[in-house]
């Protein structure tokens, strides 16, 4: 999943029914359904981009020509998503698509602000990878030492982390009124700390979600307090 994105990208593997594959085929990742041994497990860049377009058009109910602006609406920096995903990897593309499809409320929240959804999603994936140590050569050492790796008995756990990272970034951005161009790294640093706090001693997705809910509630309160202070000074803020 750390494979760099390319417009000709096609990842293909035979389905042999191994335990990891049995778990993986349940995820909505594949170009075509995988049912039995010998089937191909295929992920392609073009198919994921098609799904991304359909998901954002549906989530935001785009019509009357607006659906043609989906790349701009998601906050990509150029007219094609590929140039942005080249700085990320296949995992960032997959998580961006799944979050749009399974949690459309997130893009609706982002649409109320000036924080670019796509750019934030790519960087959120990188942040999660750094928190989990996925760039290390010996990930198994971390698996044996950290209780939160039990979360990943649930194949959708990585999406729960991604959704949390996205919402934390949005809340921090709104609370602190940061300039994205210059302050995205500090936002990501705080996102990583928040994710680590929620993961500490965690052994289930349910426990993680409870902690995320509490942490996000604190960030919402901070945003409301800052908005109140801003209004008292005669300023304004984005609505989140």
State yes or no: pLDDT of 185 exceeds 50.
Answer: yes
Lowest mean pLDDT among 87-96, 116-125, 214-223: 87-96
Indicate the pLDDT class of residue 60, thresholds 50, 70 and 90: very high
CB of 170 within 8 A of CB of 120?
yes
A 10 A CB-CB count for 221 gives 12
Structural domain count, the chain: 1
Residue 182 belongs to some domain of the structure: yes
State yes or no: pLDDT of 2 exceeds 50.
Answer: no
| 197 against 149, higher pLDDT | 197
Query: How far does the chain reach from its first CA to its final CA, in angstroms?
Result: 32
Residue 61 belongs to some domain of the structure: yes
State yes or no: pLDDT of 166 exceeds 70.
Answer: yes
CB of 168 within 8 A of CB of 189?
no
- pLDDT attached to residue 84: 59
- pLDDT attached to residue 209: 95
What are the φ and ψ backbone dihedral angles of 154, each rounded to 5 degrees?
A: -90, 115
- Residue 207 and residue 30: Cα distance in Å, rounded? 29
Indicate the pLDDT class of residue 223, thresholds 50, 70 and 90: confident
Residue 113 belongs to some domain of the structure: yes
- pLDDT attached to residue 208: 95
A 10 A CB-CB count for 60 gives 19
Residue 179 belongs to some domain of the structure: yes
Among 24-33, 64-73, 194-203, the range of highest mean pLDDT:
194-203
Lowest mean pLDDT among 16-25, 28-37, 171-180: 171-180
Output the pTM of the full model.
0.80
Indicate the pLDDT class of residue 87, thresholds 50, 70 and 90: low
| 178 against 200, higher pLDDT | 200
- Residue 158 and residue 132: Cα distance in Å, rounded? 10
Mean pLDDT in residue range 187-192: 91
- pLDDT attached to residue 18: 84
- pLDDT attached to residue 211: 94
Question: Residue 134: which domain range?
Answer: 10-232
Residue 3 belongs to some domain of the structure: no
What digits encode the pLDDT tens for the residues 120-136? 998 898 889 888 877 65
Q: Where are the alpha helices (DSSP H) in 149-204?
A: 157-176, 180-199
Residue 202 belongs to some domain of the structure: yes
- pLDDT attached to residue 58: 94
Mean pLDDT in residue range 115-124: 88
């Amino acid at each position: 999943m750390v494979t760099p994105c390319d417009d000709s990208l096609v990842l293909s593997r035979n389905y042999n029914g191994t335990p990891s594959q049995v778990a993986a085929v349940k995820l909505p990742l594949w170009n075509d359904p995988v049912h039995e041994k010998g089937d191909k497990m295929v992920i392609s860049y073009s198919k994921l981009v098609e799904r991304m377009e359909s998901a954002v058009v549906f989530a935001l109910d785009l019509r009357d020509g607006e659906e043609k602006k989906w790349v701009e609406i998601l906050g990509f920096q150029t007219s094609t998503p590929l140039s942005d995903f080249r700085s990320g990897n296949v995992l960032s593309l997959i998580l961006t698509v799944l979050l749009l499809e399974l949690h459309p409320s997130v893009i609706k929240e982002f649409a109320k602000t000036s924080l670019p959804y796509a750019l934030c999603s790519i960087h959120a994936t990188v942040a999660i990878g750094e928190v989990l140590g996925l760039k290390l050569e010996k990930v198994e050492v971390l698996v044996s030492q950290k209780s939160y790796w039990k979360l990943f008995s649930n194949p959708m756990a990585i999406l729960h982390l991604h959704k949390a990272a996205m919402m934390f970034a949005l809340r921090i951005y709104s609370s602190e009124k940061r300039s994205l161009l210059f302050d995205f790294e500090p936002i990501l640093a705080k996102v990583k700390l928040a994710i680590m706090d929620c993961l500490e001693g965690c052994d289930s997705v349910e426990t993680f979600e409870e902690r995320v809910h509490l942490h996000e509630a604190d960030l919402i309160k901070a945003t409301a307090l800052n908005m109140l202070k801003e209004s008292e000074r005669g300023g304004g803020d984005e609505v989140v």
